[in-house]
Chain A
Amino acid sequence: MSENKGDKTKPILEVRNLTVALPKGADRALAVEKVSFTVNPGEIVCLVGESGSGKSVIAFTVMGLLAKALKPTSGEILLEGENILAASEDRLRQLRCTRMSMIFQEPMTALNPVMTCGEQIDEVLETHTKLDAAARKAKIIAILTRVKLPEPERIYASFPHQLSGGQRQRIMIAMALVLDPVLLIADEPTTALDVTTQAEILKLIAELQAGQGTGVLFITHDFGVVAEIAHRVAVLRWGELVEMGQTEQILARPAQDYTRMLISSVPSIVPAHRGVRREGETVLRTDKLGKTYVSKGFFQKGRTVKAATEVDLDIRRGETLGIVGESGSGKSTVARCIARLIDPTEGKIYLGDTEIATLSAGKLRPHRRKVQIVFQDPYRSLNPRMTVGDSVIEGPMNFGLGRKEALARARALMETVRLDPNALDRYPHQFSGGQRQRICIARALAMEPELLIADEAVSALDVSVQKQVLELLDEIRQRLKLAVLFITHDLRVAAQICDFVAVMSQGRVVEYGAAEQVFGAPRHEYTKALFAAAPGRNWDFTKASAA
C-alpha cells in the first residue's frame, strides 16, 4: 500500500478554535478553550502541559474517542481537509487506523490480554482491508520487523503478558502504523516505560515517521522528551494554548512567563556543586543488606526472587543519598527494608549504633520514630477518612505526646511545609497532589526523625510543583540537619538533590559515589547506558531566557 500522501505542504491536521466543554460541577467550565494548531506531513508536534491542561482531551477529540460527558462546542478539526467533528460514527470508524491512529500510555491495558499480538493486529487488517489471510499475515510480519521486534513469528503468536513493556509498546506502534496512517497520535507513550526503553521507543517513533512522512501529535509532560523528539511544541495551560513554536525557540527563548517557568522548573542533569564535607555522625549504615522473596503455597513449589543483594550504604547527618535505578532494580525494596516495612533476609542495618534489621516488632517500636518515609503517590499516602491534623498527630501521640502538644507541633509544621495551619481541620481530598505531599512531609517531620526516606516522593508531581517540593525537602534537610535517603528513577531529580548517588540494577549497587563524580564520569556500563538514555540530556533547561 504505497498511497499518495497528498500535497507535502498542506497540513495533515488542522485544529481551529477547538473548544470542549466540561460537565457541570467540574473545576472549570471548559476542558479546552479556542485551541488552534496544525500538524504538517513528516512533522512531530508536541503538546506539552501539566496535568489538567487539556492535552489528552485534544488527542481524544481528534480521534473521536471523547467521553460522552465532554462535548466539543465549537471549532473544527480538519484531517486532510475533512472535518472530524462533523463526521458520522461510521466515517470515524473508517478513518481510525487507516488515516489516523493512536498509541496509549499503558500498553498492557491497551492490548487485549486474551488475544495473541498477531491476532490483534490482524483484526485491524480484517476490518479495514480486503486482503486474504496469507497476505495479512505477511503484512503483519513485515510491520513487526519494521518496529524492530526480534523473531516476528514468535511475537505474532505471543500474548501481551509474555512480552516486556517496551515490546508491548512496539506492538501498539505496529498496530497503529500497519495501514500507513497519515497521522499518529501518541498519548504519553513512554511515560510508563523505563528510561532506556523510553529512549528506544522515541527513536523508533522518530525513524518510522521520518520514513513514511507521517505527522505525529505527541502528548507529553516531559520537557526532556520534547527536546529529544519534537519539531514544534505547543504549550498548554488550563485548556488554553499558551504559545507555539519551533522546539529550539520555545525551549531556549520562550515568549511567555508560564513557559519560562515550566522550562526552568525542569531540573538540570548536571549536578550542582554541593561541597559535602562528610563530618556529621553516621545516621544509617547498611552492611550487605539483602532481601529474597520466597513465594510458596500449599501446592506450588517455592520460587525465589532476589530483590536486593549485598547493598552497602551509609548516610551521615545533613546528607542526601540518592538511590537511582529503573523499575525492578530493587531501590524501593532497600528503602522499605530500612524503614522496616518489610523484613530484610540478609545483612545488617545500623541506625546510629543500633542494629535494627533483626529486631522484633516490639523492640523496633522505639526506633520507628527515627526513620520516616514519604511515599510516591500523594493520593494514597493519607487516610482519606481522617483529617490532615489527625494524620499528622497520629505518630507523636503513639509515642505518648498529648493531643494538645501534638496539635501545636502540627501547626508549626504546617508553616514549615508552607501550608495554612487551618489545613489541619480538612480532609486530604481537598488538597492538590503537591499540597498532599507537603502534608506527608509534615507527618514524617512530626516524628522528629533522624533519617527521612523519600520513595519517589516527587515522581507523581507536575514539574513546577516538583521543583517546589524538592526545594522544600532540601531546605528542611539543611535546617534540621536531616539525613535523607532519596529514591528516584529520574536522573535529573537525583542530580539536583543528591550529595551521593548509588546506582542500582537488578538488586545490586553497581556504582556508588559523590553525585558530581557519578554524573560527571560514570564508570559502570549500566550507569553509562542510563545516562545515555536520559531524554534531552544535551539540553540544559536552566539556560532558558527571555525572548
Chain B
Amino acid sequence: MSATLPDAIVDSAAIAAATSRRRSVWALAIRNPSVIFGGVILLLMLLIAILAPYLGTVDPTRIDPAMRNKKPDTVLTYRLDDGTPAHRTAIMGTDSLGRDVYSRVIYGTRVSLTVGISVAIIAVALGLVIGLVAGYVRWADGIIMRIMDGLMAIPPILLAIALVSIWRAGLVTVIFAIVVPEVPRVVRLVRSVVLTVREEPYVEGAISVGTPTITLMWRHILPNTVAPLIVQATFTAAAAIIIEAILSFLGIGIPPETPSWGNIMAEGRTLFRVFPHNIMYPGIFLAFAVLAINIMGDGLRDTLDPKMSKKV
C-alpha cells in the first residue's frame, strides 16, 4: 500500500478526544445506590453462611427436651460433657424440640444461599446454551421453544412433589425442581437477544469475513447477553430462595434434619399463636435476603439495560 495520501490522515489526538462511554457502564453499576445497598446485605448474608459455626451458634440439630419452647432471650442452663453446669442465652428462643432457633436460622442461611446461587448459575448456564441454539439455528427454534413452553407450564411445587416421590427429599431434588421451570425464562431472554443481535451489521460483517459459527457466537453474540443475563440471574436467585422456603415449609423440600428457613417456619406453624418467634426470625431473614437481591437486580437493570440508559 502506498503512503502517498497524507492529506487527510486523521490524527490520533482527535480520536482520543472522543471520551470513552462504553466502559463506564460497569463502573456506574457499582456506584448505583440500589446495587450497593443490596450488595452489602447479600455480602453480609454470605459471610453469615460461611462463618455460621463461629457466630456463637450451637449444633442446630441438637434436641433438648428440657428446654422446649423458650421465648427469646431466655437464659438456658445445661451441663457440659464433664458435668459442670453452663449458661447460654437463646437470643431467638428455642423450638418445640428444644433446638436453638438462632443457630438454626444462621445455618439455614447456608441452604437458602446455596439454593439461590446454584439455581441461578445452573438455570443461566443451561438457558444460555439452549437460547443460543434456539436463536441461531433457525430450524431448531420452533421445536426448542415449544418444549420450553411446555416446561414453563409445570408448577415447581407439583414437580417437587413428583420428584420427591421418585427420588428422596434433599437439596439436589429441590434445586432440580426449581431449575426446570426457570430455564425457559432464561432461554426466552437469550433467544430474544440473539435474534436482535444476529441482524446487527457487525455480525453480518463477521459472517462475510468467514468467521466460523462457534467463534461468531462466542465473540460477537455472547457478550451482548451478559448484562441482561446478570439481571435475570438475580431475579432467578430471589425466586429460587422463596420457592425453596415454600417447598420446605410444605415438607417436600429440604429434609427436616437440615435446618432451612422454610422448615423452621413449618415447625413453628402449629404453635404460632403462642410462640411467634419460631416463624418471625426465619421470616425476617428470608424477607431481607429476597429484598436485597431484588433491590440489587433493579439497580443492575437500571444501569445495564440499554433501554434504560438512553434517558438523558
Contact = CB atoms under 8 A, between A and B. Distances in A.
B8 A468 contact: yes
Contacts of A399: 210
Interface of A: 23, 25, 27, 67-69, 297-298, 336, 339, 341, 365, 368-369, 371-373, 375-377, 380-386, 391, 394-395, 398-399, 412-413, 415-416, 418-420, 422-423, 426-427, 429-432, 435, 440, 443, 446-447, 468
A422 B15 CA distance: 10
Contact of B22 (A297, A394, A427): A427
A466 to B, nearest CB: 14
Given A298-B142, A415-B3, A418-B9, A398 B211 contact: yes
A341 B204 contact: yes
B20 interface: yes
Given A394-B209, A430-B15, A419 B201 contact: no
B219 A386 contact: yes
B27 interface: no
Interface residues of B, number: 35
Nearest to B212: A398
Interface of B: 1, 3, 5, 7-12, 15-16, 18-22, 142, 146, 200-202, 204-212, 215, 219-220, 223, 312
Given A372-B209, A419-B10, 7 more contacts: A375-B204, A391-B202, A398-B215, A415-B1, A415-B3, A416-B5, A420-B11
Contact of A380 (B1, B11, B200, B223): B200
Contact of B206 (A69, A383, A416, A468): A383
Give 7 closest A-B pairs by Cβ, nearest first.
Answer: A395-B209, A375-B201, A412-B1, A368-B210, A381-B201, A418-B8, A422-B12
Contacts of A395: 209-211
B146 A418 contact: no
Contact of A423 (B10, B200, B209, B220): B10
Contacts, number: 112
A72 to B, nearest CB: 16
B202 A383 contact: yes
Contacts of A69: 312
A156 B7 CA distance: 58
Given A423-B15, A430-B20, A298 B146 contact: yes
A69 to B, nearest CB: 5
A380 B201 contact: yes
12 contacts: A297-B142, A341-B207, A375-B205, A381-B201, A382-B202, A395-B211, A398-B209, A418-B5, A419-B10, A420-B9, A422-B12, A430-B20
Contacts of A431: 15, 18
Given A67-B312, A418-B10, A420-B11, A440 B209 contact: no
Contacts of A413: 1
A398 B219 CA distance: 13
A398 B21 contact: no
A24 to B, nearest CB: 12
A419 B60 CA distance: 69
B250 to A, nearest CB: 37
Given A398-B210, A412-B1, A381 B205 contact: yes
Nearest to B200: A380
A429 B201 contact: no
A426 B15 contact: yes
B309 to A, nearest CB: 13
A377, A383, A432, most chain B CB atoms within 10 A = A383
A349 to B, nearest CB: 14
Contacts of A376: 201
Nearest to A411: B1
Contacts of A420: 9-12, 15
Which of B146, B209, B215, B223: most chain A Cβ within 10 A?
B209
